[in-house]
Amino acid sequence: MKEIEKKCLASLLAIAERMYQQMKSGNVPELEIATRTKQNIEFNEESEVWVYGDRKSLRSAKSVKGAYQLLRMAYVIGFLKEQLGLNKSSTLRELYYISEGWGLAKFEEQSESDRLIEDLEILTEFQREHFHIRPEEDGATVVGPITIREETRRGVRVIHCQDDVGEGGYQIPVNVDNLEFVDHDAKFVIAIETGGMRDRLIENGFDEKFNAIIVHLKGQPARSTRRLLKRLNTELDLPVVVFTDGDPWSYRIFASVAYGSIKSAHLSEYLATPAAKFVGIRPSDILKYDLPSDKLTEEDIKALNSILTDPRFSSEFWKKEVTLQLEIRKKSEQQALAKYGLDYVTDVYLPERLSELGVI
């Protein structure tokens, strides 16, 4: 077992020990944990990311719900102890199914077991990767002028992310910290929301023409993808830009890359890239480029209004753009730029926007 895994295990067992000592002393077991809401995130001036504030939620066996939560936590800690001891790993989905044999402690839904793993991350200050818990394969990829050395079960392999990969690119592994950046000729990193737009940029040779590393976010990005973007930015000093659709859900994708997500604010310093810049699609682009668009749904409008009260979107830029979108009641996709031809996004839109941002 690696040293960091030993420390992780000790931190997990300390939680169980705390509950045991409470019961031994005749007290009802309870745990305090950071409240995961946007009202409890605050900006850390030093790290420039959004982290949890001082508000706490109580998990207490005084209530039936709290007693079940602590019981399940004890079972999960026991499972993780065994898993780490055997040097094995499991997925979040597998953990949910494993609980089928836990009687009263079984989870009713996977969201419950996922949330409990997040609780343990907050309480131990370790990541789920240290617990040997991984997500389902997310399939996010990288294409660009960078050479990576990767540790695998079969040894070390070196991959150039243009020459040694297929059209889809190099698939980002679960534990990005096992990667070493050997060499690169990149000038910046562009993170793309959709696979269709990723393919358009690759087909048009955008990575070669602009020495760009193209990272496919595949919708809401996995933690491994966000960690890779963070490392590319901080270790290689590469600017990171994010290119998404023009709707509230896509703005939240950008926020998770740049500011950290609300549900994983305890990992913001590890995952978030506060220097990341938003390329578009912006609401003002819908008007400027006369883009094909769809009407906002009631859910879209509700989400946009929520963004206006989200501290991660407190800048004048976001207030102006979101207010404009609520006025025009329209949203648009990245692919809408194809109105002007398949090369327009790589020959006109992105060069113009990247120039405005000072990236190229």
Residues assigned a catalytic role: 97
CA distance 179 to 121: 22
> What six digits make up the tokens of 300?
């879209």
* SS3 annotation, the chain: CCHHHHHHHHHHHHHHHHHHHHHHCCCCCEEEEECCCHHHEEEECCCCEEEECCCEEEEECCCHHHHHHHHHHHHHHHHHHHHHHCCCCEEHHHHHHHHHHCHHHCCCCHHHHHHHHHHHHHHHCCCHHHHCEECCCCCCEEECCEEEEEEECCEEEEEECCCCCCCCCEECCCCHHHEEEEEECCCEEEEECCHHHHHHHHHCCHHHHCCEEEEECCCCCCHHHHHHHHHHHHHHCCCEEEECCECHHHHHHHHHHHCCCHHHHHHHHHHCCCCCEEEECCHHHHHHCCCCCEECCHHHHHHHHHHHCCHHHCCHHHHHHHHHHHHHCEEECHHHHHHHCCCHHHHHHHHHHHHHCCCC
Angle formed at CA 203 by CA 201 and CA 205, multiple of 5 degrees? 70
Whether residue 281 is preceded by a cis peptide bond, meaning omega within 30 degrees of 0, is yes
Number of residues that make up the chain: 360
Angle formed at CA 281 by CA 278 and CA 287, multiple of 5 degrees? 130
Pairing of strands 240-243, 188-192: parallel
Do residues 55 and 34 make contact, with C-beta atoms less than 8 angstroms apart?
A: yes
> What six digits make up the tokens of 58?
């109580």
